[in-house]
Structure 1
Amino acid sequence: MLLVLSDEHKEHLGFLSEVDTVVVGEFGRIAVEFLKKGSNAKIYEGAARKLNVPTHSVQYGVEGLMYLLTESSKLMISEVDFQDSVLALGFSEERNKLLLQLYLENRKEIRNILSELGPALPCYHNLEWRLDVQLASRTLRQQVKPTLSLKLHLESGGIRSARVLQTDPATLLHLVQELERALAEVKSNHCRRILRNIK
C-alpha cells in the first residue's frame, strides 16, 4: 500500500532536500523525540539559527517528517512501498535510504507511542444472560412479559468490570437486525470503494 502525500505535505518535506543528510537524520531523531514528549519551540528556533533559515521552515520540515513516519508506521507499509511513496518527493537516492532507515529503526517504537495515545477502551471478556418471564399476575392474567438480562464482563488494563443490561426480546431483535444490516453494508461495493479511497 502506497502512502499518498498531499501537495502541502510534499512542500513541507521539500525543505529536507535543501539541508545536509546529517541534518535530515537529526530532524528524524527530533521528530521521534517530539512524538514521545511533545514539540518544543526552542529546538525549532535553535535549529533555524544554525541553518540560517526561518523557524517555520524547520518546524514544517520536522512536522512533515513526523507525519510521514507516523502514517507509515500506522499502516505498517513495507520497505518497497515506503521507498515508492518517498520517490514522489524527488529526493536523492541517499536521502531516500536515510528516510527508509529512519522508518525501519523507529516504526515499532512509533506504533507503541500511537497505541498509548489512543483511548483506552474496555475489551469484551465474557457475557452471561438470563431470560425472566412473568407468566401471569392478578392484574394481567393473559399477558406474558419476558425480560432479557445481560451481564457484560469487560476488561480494561487488566482490571475487570461488569455491566448489567436489561431489555425486552423485541428491542434485542431490532438491535440484532440493525447490526446485521450494518455488517452487510460494509461488504457492499459502494462501501468498499469508499474505504479503498480513504486508505
Structure 2
Amino acid sequence: MLLSFRNDHKEHLNLLTKHSVDDIVYFCKLAIGFINNGPNNMMYNRTATNLNIEFHTVQNCIYGLINLLILACRHKLNEADFRDSILTIGFSCDQQNVLYEFYRSKSEEISEILKKQLIKDPYTYYNLDWRFEIQVSSRSLLDQVIPLITMDLVLKDKEKADELKHVFLEADPRNVMHITEELEKALAESKYRHLSRVPRTFIE
C-alpha cells in the first residue's frame, strides 16, 4: 500500500528532497537523536547555520522524518511500498536508499512503542447534528436576544456497531468560536506532542 501524507507532512518531507544525500544522512541522525534523547535545539541551530537555512526548517525536516517513520511502522510497509510512497514526494533513488535504511534500522523499536501507546477507546465518531436557537424574551426580561447552538454528538461503540451514544452539548456562538480556535491550536501542536512521546518512551 502507498502512504497518504497530510499536506503539512508533504511540505516537511519536500524540504529534504532539496538536500544532498549526505545532508539527509545527517538529518536522519538528528531524528534518531530526537527519538533517543529528545530535541536538541543547540544542534539544530548549528545545523541551520551550517546549511544556511532557518531553524524551523531543520525542525520540520526532523518532524517529517519521524512522522514518516511512525506512519511506515504503523502500516508495516515492505521495502517496495516504502520506496513507492516516498517516490511520490520526489526523492531520488539515492535519497530513497538512505530513508529506507533509516526506516529499517528503527522500525522494530518504533513498532514496539506504538503498541505500548495504543489507547483503546470504546467509541468512535458517527455523526453530529446541530441547530441554532434564539431566546428572544423571558418573564423577567422582555427585550433580549440569547443565541445558542445545540449539538447532538453521536458516538458509535466499536465493539457493538449497532449501539450509539448521544452526547448533547449547548453553547453560545462566542464559546463555540473559542472552542474552535483551541481545537485548531491543538491540531497544529498535536504533531509535535505526538513526537515528543517517542523519546520519553525510550528514556523510561
State the TM-score, normalized to the length of structure 1. Answer: 0.57
Offset of 1:109 from its aligned partner?
Answer: 2.0
Offset of 1:25 from its aligned partner?
Answer: 1.1
User: What is the aligned partner in structure 1 of residue 3 from structure 2?
Assistant: 3
Offset of 1:36 from its aligned partner?
Answer: 2.6
> Are 2:86 and 1:108 aligned?
no
Amino acid at match of 1:46: R
> Are 2:47 and 1:47 aligned?
yes
Runs of 4+ in 1 over 4 A off after TM superposition: 116-119
Change in 2 beyond 3 A, CA 1:46/1:84: same
User: What is the aligned partner in structure 1 of residue 95 from structure 2?
Assistant: 95
Measured on the aligned residues, the alpha-carbon RMSD in Å equals: 2.7
Inter-partner Cα distance in structure 1 for 2:158 and 2:7: 40
Larger radius of gyration: 1
Inter-partner Cα distance in structure 2 for 1:2 and 1:101: 18
Offset of 1:15 from its aligned partner?
Answer: 1.4
Unaligned runs of 5+ in 1: 120-178, 186-199
Amino acid at match of 1:34: F
Listed as ranges, the matches of 1:26-175 within 5 Å are: 26-117=26-117
Given that 1:36 and 1:113 are in contact with CA atoms closer than 8 Å, whether structure 2 keeps it comes out as no
Q: What is the count of residue pairs matched by the alignment?
A: 129
Q: What secondary structure does 1:90 align onto?
A: coil
User: What is the aligned partner in structure 1 of residue 176 from structure 2?
Assistant: none
Change in 2 beyond 3 A, CA 1:49/1:71: same
Change in 2 beyond 3 A, CA 1:180/1:89: closer
Q: What secondary structure does 1:76 align onto?
A: coil
Amino acid at match of 1:5: F
Identity across matched positions, percent = 33
User: What is the aligned partner in structure 2 of residue 21 from structure 1?
Assistant: 21
Greater relative contact order, per chain length (Cα 8 Å cut-off, separation 6+) = 2
Change in 2 beyond 3 A, CA 1:89/1:183: same
Inter-partner Cα distance in structure 2 for 1:17 and 1:98: 12
Partner residue of 2:160 out of 179, 182, 186: 182
Offset of 1:116 from its aligned partner?
Answer: 4.7
State the TM-score, normalized to the length of structure 2. Answer: 0.56
User: What is the aligned partner in structure 1 of residue 145 from structure 2?
Assistant: none
Offset of 1:117 from its aligned partner?
Answer: 4.6
